[in-house]
Amino acid sequence: MSRVYMKYTPGVLNGKLVDPPQIRYNGAQIKTRNIVERTFGIWKRRIPCLSKGPGNKLETVSLIIVACAVLHNLSLILNDNMALGIDSHSDQENGANETSVMASSSAGFVVRVTIIENYYQ
């Protein structure tokens, strides 16, 4: 779906959410995204191979992500400070925001509307 089409979609005014369910959904999505991105930052400092990007098949990448989650959770259970990114030898990030803005697709828009209708009405 093009941005022009989405701009004139009912319920959206210049890209701003106007319905209370959409506003609640957006707030929940922002909170969740912040948590997920912070966790990925910790994982990248803890497990450097994640910083380089995927060079494997999709099936392998999904297994790597699950393994990283297991290692992260074990580190938290065992009180390993490196899991929190507290490591004197860890690489410092350059401070650049890694958030990438992806273009909206019609499938993504439909999923978003369905989630709002099912959970935020």
Question: Does residue 87 have a pLDDT over 60?
Answer: no
The whole domain housing 33 covers: 3-119
pLDDT(37) > 70: yes
Q: What is the pLDDT of residue 57?
A: 84
Continuous H helices in 51-93: 58-77
* 16: confidence class by pLDDT, cuts 50, 70, 90: low
Other Cβ atoms closer than 10 A to 116: 19
Residue 64 or residue 11, greater confidence? 64
Q: Which of 41, 58, 52, 57 is nearest to 92 (CA)?
A: 41
d(CA 2, CA 9): 11
Among the listed residues 13, 18, 32, 3, the one whose alpha carbon sits nearest the alpha carbon of residue 101: 3
Q: What is the pLDDT of residue 70?
A: 92
pLDDT at 33 over 70: yes
Q: Is the pLDDT of residue 106 over 80?
A: no
Q: How many domains does the chain have?
A: 1
